[in-house]
Amino acid sequence: MKKILAAAAVSLAILPAPALAQIDSASVERGADGSLTLSWTAQGPVDVYVATTPDAMPADAEPVSMDDEDGMHIYQPASEAGRTYFVLAGIDGDVRHAAARVLPLEGGRNFRDLGGYPAMDGMSVRWGRLYRSGAMHELTAADYHYLSGLDIAVICDFRANQERIDEPTDWQAGAVDMMNWDYEMDMSSLGAAFGGDMSPERSAAAMTAFYRQMPVAYGDRYAQMFQRIAAGDLPMTFHCSAGKDRTGLAAALILSALGVPRDVILDDYAMSDDLVDYMADLREAREQADPDSPNAFWAQLPEAVIAPFMASDPAYLAAALDQIEADHGSVEAYLQDELGVTDAALAAMRSSLLE
């Protein structure tokens, strides 16, 4: 019997370790208790690590699950920890990073990372380089403590003069270069919704027309944003008030430049509806009856008429991109012709933002 057991032990000892798999995709969701659920797809086991920096490699990270084959790992960060990044290691040195997209901010509005999306040539967008957001005037001390660990270098604020006055940003997360522009909002293209009989259909048509004008109307601001990205002035946060319209098109242009598929870009845009209840904000403005509120004008209108303006309907963004393609042939041609983004600038962007 002892000889049989010994032979079995020798046989097991010489079996090869499981081959790590090629990693196809990975995503992270944050639970109500702060736990992080990492999910991935791979044909075989992977090694899972956690790190506090977005570019960490396995040698610099903490192992939490080796030869993991079930495609899921739940991790509970320490309460005082900063942002958690996962590092998945697969076959032939294949490494993929993942993090929770939406930042856990008490006073944040639609503040999220553009990392992790599939891009050109089988690469993906790096985490911790580009963030999109809405207005940041309600960020708390705890939020700024969290944000201070992200090393944000540039904030690109697309808001008009009065918007910045009404909801000023008091950035307290380290030295940052604030970009903004001296202009007043031109809402004339939305006026069609308020002449004659108001209806949700007219509101949606006005929003579609507004989006078709945005690539030219905001081209100078987008051009300067691209210049900073190409120069490597990262990490960057870009935002407007709601974080869905001017910001949404900016995100779409960046992701398009990186070769992210159109359906993924539209899904990222539509995510705003899941993260912010814009109609609730308007109801609050109506209840407060504050004539100086940025939402005062909208609050007096019927909700059915307002709703299309508050929505992140993928059809709006698709209209802007369709207009770009009709005018220039492609988004890349628009970037070059309208925004002055050179081939060298595009190559620099892709080098710093893709992995």
Average pLDDT for 248-267: 98
Q: How many Cβ atoms are within 10 Å of 304's Cβ, its own excluded?
A: 11
Residue 131, Cβ density class (10 Å: 0-12 exposed, 13-18 middle, ≥19 buried) = buried
Confidence of residue 93 (pLDDT cuts 50, 70, 90): confident
- For residue 96, CA distances in Å to 88, 131, 238 come to 5, 19, 25
114 versus 19: the higher-pLDDT residue is: 114
Confidence of residue 140 (pLDDT cuts 50, 70, 90): very high
Confidence of residue 101 (pLDDT cuts 50, 70, 90): very high
Q: What percent of the chain has pLDDT over 70?
A: 87
Alpha-carbon distance of 75 to 279, in angstroms, equals 34
Indicate if the pLDDT at residue 2 is higher than 70. Answer: no
Catalytic residue among 125, 240, 265, 331: 240
pLDDT at 197: 77
Indicate if the pLDDT at residue 163 is higher than 90. Answer: yes
pLDDT at 36: 97
Confidence of residue 81 (pLDDT cuts 50, 70, 90): confident
pLDDT at 291: 62
Confidence of residue 334 (pLDDT cuts 50, 70, 90): very high
Contacts 24+ apart (CB under 8 A), 41-47: 41/71, 42/71, 42/88, 42/90, 44/18, 44/19, 44/20, 44/69, 44/91, 45/18, 45/19, 45/20, 45/21, 45/69, 46/20, 46/21, 46/88, 46/89, 46/90, 47/20, 47/88, 47/89, 47/90
Indicate if the pLDDT at residue 189 is higher than 80. Answer: no
Mean pLDDT of the chain: 89
Indicate if the pLDDT at residue 14 is higher than 70. Answer: no
Q: 240 an active-site residue? A: yes
User: Among the listed ranges 157-166, 220-229, 288-297, 317-326, which one has the minimum average pLDDT value?
Assistant: 288-297
Alpha-carbon distance of 153 to 317, in angstroms, equals 28
- Whether residue 320 contacts residue 222, with contact meaning beta carbons closer than 8 Å, is answered with no
Q: What is the pLDDT of residues 26-64, one digit of tens each?
A: 999 999 999 999 999 998 899 999 999 999 999 999 999
Average pLDDT for 196-214: 90
